Amino acid sequence: MSSNKWYIGIDLGGTSVKMAFIDDEAQIIDKWNIKTDTTNNGENIVKDISESIKTKIEEHQKDKDHIKGIGMGSPGFLEIDEGFVYHSVNIGWKNYPLKDELEKAVGLPVIVDNDANIAAIGEMWKGAGEGAKDVLCVTLGTGVGGGVITDGEIVHGVNGMAGEIGHTTAVLKGGVLCNCGKTGCLETVSSATAIRRMAIEGFKDHPESRLKKKYDKEGDISSKDVLDFAKEQDHLAMAVVKKASFHLGFALANFATVMNPAKIVIGGGVSKAGDTLLDPVKHYFRMYALPRVNEGVEIVAAQLGNDAGIIGAAWLAKTKL
């Protein structure tokens, strides 16, 4: 069924631009990165992408005709239909017509979506969500990102904000201030950042913790340390993982009761801890989700890692252009 033609998937981040040629069946033909040039409010980024694509097409001794279109994920607030970026803080764009500029520069049709959404779509197409049409994706990293897919389509909402599961309120009273301006967001208790912070906050009650010893010796700890030490039964680390898992499992149970997904895909750096994190999340999920919703859903770790975005972007180009 393959047409043998390729799609280009682009995943724009604050540090690097991930790009790939991807075929009809989600196979990556070639993937590469370039640096994200955020100087001058990101005005060189589209030119850099365009030149890099042209060079790569030549390297593969293909014509531009061999590419059917470009899908691209961008951070920030976007108008999806127009591919217009209202504001992308980490990139520097403000009121930037990304789709139009990239189409002009490369001479191929372009479709743009939010970076969290393309990662979710990637996992649905070829990753942990494969085969499911109703998928909830959560990315646990510096923050907590999310993507919602219903009946095979990304949910954008009325102004492109859908999926902001990280900014739902988890702690009603006395929650930590979040970057969004609210307090007690899920992001303040279940992100990598939160896991590290909650461990450090726990030193006073757990001076015996190996986390404290590591912190005193090396000057810092990471969320990975917390998850590793939890696996080795360090009490503070276990308490922190329990807290992060409780809030995530509870929030997911409530969203799943409203969305009834077939898969919940948990990705991002923290999810690499595997069952250390997934098992307690599943435990709390089952406590709070409606029984029939529970029966219908599988909670799984993301599979595509950093490739989720480029693969999801290619899916957009394949199905929407």
Verify binding: residue 179, its own copies, rule CB under 8 A. Answer: no
Q: How far apart are CA 215 and CA 237, in angstroms?
A: 13
Q: Please select the residue that binds its own copies; options are 162, 192, 238, 273, rule is CB under 8 A.
A: 162
Verify binding: residue 286, its own copies, rule CB under 8 A. Answer: no
Closest CB to its own copies among 56 and 167?
Answer: 167
Q: Which two tokens mark 282?
A: 């599943």
Q: Please select the residue that binds its own copies; options are 33, 169, 222, 306, rule is CB under 8 A.
A: 169
Verify binding: residue 87, its own copies, rule CB under 8 A. Answer: no
SS (H, E, C) the chain: CCCCCEEEEEEECCCEEEEEEEECCCCEEEEEEEECCCHHHHCCHHHHHHHHHHHHHHHCCCCHHHEEEEEEEECCEEECCCCEEEEECCCCEEEECHHHHHHHHHCCCEEEEEHHHHHHHHHHHHCCCCCCCCEEEEEECCCEEEEEEECCEECCCCCCCCCCHHHCECCCCCCCECCCCCECECHHHHCHHHHHHHHHHHHHCCCCCHHHHHHHHHCCCCHHHHHHHHHCCCHHHHHHHHHHHHHHHHHHHHHHHHHCCCEEEEECHHHHHCHHHHHHHHHHHHHHCCHHHHHHCEEEECCCHHHHHHHHHHHHHHHHC
Closest CB to its own copies among 14 and 157?
Answer: 157
| Nearest distance, CB of residue 71 and its own copies, angstroms | 19
Q: Please select the residue that binds its own copies; options are 42, 129, 160, 249, rule is CB under 8 A.
A: 160
Verify binding: residue 320, its own copies, rule CB under 8 A. Answer: no
Verify binding: residue 304, its own copies, rule CB under 8 A. Answer: no
User: Residue 51 to residues 6, 20, 239: CA-CA distances in angstroms?
Assistant: 18, 14, 50
Verify binding: residue 132, its own copies, rule CB under 8 A. Answer: yes
Verify binding: residue 115, its own copies, rule CB under 8 A. Answer: no
Which range, of 150-158, 218-226, 232-240, 272-280, touches its own copies by CB under 8 A?
Answer: 150-158
Verify binding: residue 113, its own copies, rule CB under 8 A. Answer: no
Interaction pattern, residues 236-255, with its own copies; x per rule: CB under 8 A: --------------xx-xxx
User: Residue 200 to residues 67, 176, 193, 233: CA-CA distances in angstroms?
Assistant: 50, 14, 11, 17
Closest CB to its own copies among 6 and 255?
Answer: 255
| Nearest distance, CB of residue 256 and its own copies, angstroms | 9
Which range, of 15-23, 149-157, 226-234, 304-312, touches its own copies by CB under 8 A?
Answer: 149-157
Verify binding: residue 133, its own copies, rule CB under 8 A. Answer: yes
| Nearest distance, CB of residue 316 and its own copies, angstroms | 15
Q: Please select the residue that binds its own copies; options are 72, 98, 111, 148, rule is CB under 8 A.
A: 148
- Contact set with its own copies (CB under 8 A): 77, 132-134, 146, 148, 150-151, 153, 155-165, 167-169, 172, 180-182, 250-251, 253-255, 257-262, 288, 290-293, 295-297
